């Protein structure tokens, strides 16, 4: 049974999908304006706003663990919350490795062996060794307004900046591991600043920070985000957007298994 416990061997490429995490916040931040909106409405809008959108991005991801550090460059296509396609460009050794997420299912294409592998339930839930996310985040965060009850818990100056703090408590039946989420946005333009994930005893488990806010395709959003696990302060995962285009036209059948290996 040893191996199951070790099941955190998650394929590197899956982490790339974390980037989708970013999008809800990007979009909602751009669309909202003062005066103080209702917290629930913000979160509902996140999901609504995301629907029907499509995008293409070039992203670099740097992961640092105690044992290694590496940087990947990848191309990401997405359509709505359900469909995502990621292809690694660099490093050369892993070039062409592609990942497809459709709904709850994730497939991985490995050019070296020319095989496509479907992610199993066991891999979905486990956290990926060395990474600071669980793959489950990909599926779960897109339903944030369904799973959490939110309210504004602070509004005003903190650290010399005007911010709004939202606290998200999971609904009793919601299938989430967290005790609560605390989201901090800039009061001026509601751009996300940080998200902290807590366990049931209100101990912080991981911390996500956003920066480098820029206007892309007429939208303001942060092009940099970093994730730090609280119990391993020396480790992090950071994602930087090099290119980003919204409302691109993606051919029909692009998010399919036949397309995956091309």
Partner 1 sequence: MKTWSMAFRNILRAKRRSLITILAMAFALGIMVVYTGLMDGMIGDMKKNAVMLEMGHVQIHAEGYRESPSIYKRIQAPDVLLERLDKAGYTASYRLFASGLAAHGNSSAGVFLRGVAPDLEAETMRLPHHLLAGKWLNRNDPKDIVIGKRLAKTLSASLGDEIVIVSQASDGSIANDLYRVGGILKSISEEVDRAGLFMTVDAFRDLMVVTKGAHEIVITLPEDADLNAAASTIANMAQGLEVSTWRQLNPALAQMIDAADAFLLPLVIITYIAVAIVILNAMLMVVFERIREYGVMKALGVNPYEVFFLVLTETIIMTTAAAVLGLGFGVPLAFYLETHGINLAPFAEGATISGVALDLIWHSMVSARTILIPLVTMYVLAVIATIYPAAKAAYLNPVEAIHHR
Partner 2 sequence: MIARMAWRNLWRNRRRTIITLVSIAFGFLLALTFTSLSDGSYGQMIDTAARMGTGHVTIEPQGYRDKPGHDLVVRDTGQLADEVRAMPGIENATIRIVGQAMAATSADSTGAGIIALDPESEQGVFFLLNHVVEGQQLASREEKKVLIGKGMARRLDLNLGKKLVLTTTDKTGEIVSGLVRVAGIFSTGVDEADKYIIIVPIDYMRVLLGYSKNEATQIAVYLNDRRDAEEKSHALALLAAAYNGTALPWSVMMPDVAGVILMDSTGNYFLQVFIFLLVGAGILNTVLMGVMERLREFGIMLAVGMSPGKLWRMIMTETFWLAVVGLLVSSVLSVPVYWYLHKYGIDISVWLGEDQVYGGVLFDPLMKAEFYLDHAILIFSGVFILILAAGLYPAFLAARTRPVETIKIL
Write each residue from 106 to 135 as x if it is in contact with partner 2 (CB under 8 A), else as -, in one continuous string. Answer: --------------xxx-xxxx------x-
Q: Does 4 bind partner 2 (CB under 8 A)?
A: yes
Nearer to partner 1, 128 or 198 (CB): 128
Nearer to partner 2, 36 or 177 (CB): 177
Q: Does 77 bind partner 2 (CB under 8 A)?
A: no
Rounded least distance, CB 34 to partner 1, Å:
43
Rounded least distance, CB 137 to partner 2, Å:
11
Residue 85 binds which entry of partner 1, partner 2, none, with Cβ cut-offs from 5 to 8 Å by kind? none
Give the Cα separation of 173 and 206 in Å (integer).
23
- The site for partner 1 (CB under 8 A) is made up of 1-13, 63, 65-70, 91, 93-94, 97, 108, 110, 112-113, 115, 117-118, 120, 122-123, 128-130
Binding partner 2 (rule: CB under 8 A), the pick from 173, 215, 249, 258 is: 173
Residue 175 binds which entry of partner 2, partner 1, none, with Cβ cut-offs from 5 to 8 Å by kind? partner 2
Binding site for partner 2 (CB under 8 A): 1, 3-5, 7-8, 104-105, 120-122, 124-127, 134, 136, 173-179, 197-200, 205
């Amino acid at each position: 049974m040893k191996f199951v416990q070790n099941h955190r061997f998650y394929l590197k490429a899956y982490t790339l999908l974390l980037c989708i995490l970013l999008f809800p916040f990007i979009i909602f931040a751009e669309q909202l304006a003062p005066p103080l909106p209702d917290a629930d409405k913000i979160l509902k809008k996140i999901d609504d706003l995301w629907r029907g959108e499509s995008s293409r991005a070039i992203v670099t991801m740097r992961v640092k663990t105690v044992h290694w550090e590496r940087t990947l460059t990848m191309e990401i296509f997405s359509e709505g919350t359900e469909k995502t396609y990621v292809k690694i460009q660099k490093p050369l050794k892993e070039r062409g490795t592609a990942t497809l997420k459709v709904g709850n299912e994730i497939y991985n294409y490995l050019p070296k062996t020319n095989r496509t592998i479907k992610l199993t339930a066991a891999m979905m839930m486990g956290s990926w060794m060395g990474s600071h996310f669980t793959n489950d985040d990909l599926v779960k965060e897109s339903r944030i307004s369904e799973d959490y009850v939110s309210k504004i818990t602070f509004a005003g100056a903190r650290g010399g900046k005007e911010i709004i703090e939202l606290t998200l408590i999971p609904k009793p039946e919601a299938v989430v591991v967290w005790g609560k989420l605390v989201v901090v946005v800039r009061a001026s333009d509601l751009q996300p600043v940080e998200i902290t994930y807590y366990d049931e005893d209100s101990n912080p488990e991981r911390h996500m920070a956003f920066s480098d806010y820029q206007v892309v395709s007429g939208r303001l959003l942060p092009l940099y985000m970093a994730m730090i696990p609280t119990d391993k302060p020396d480790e992090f995962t950071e994602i930087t957007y090099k290119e980003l285009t919204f409302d691109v036209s993606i051919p029909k059948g692009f998010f399919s298994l036949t397309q995956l290996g091309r």
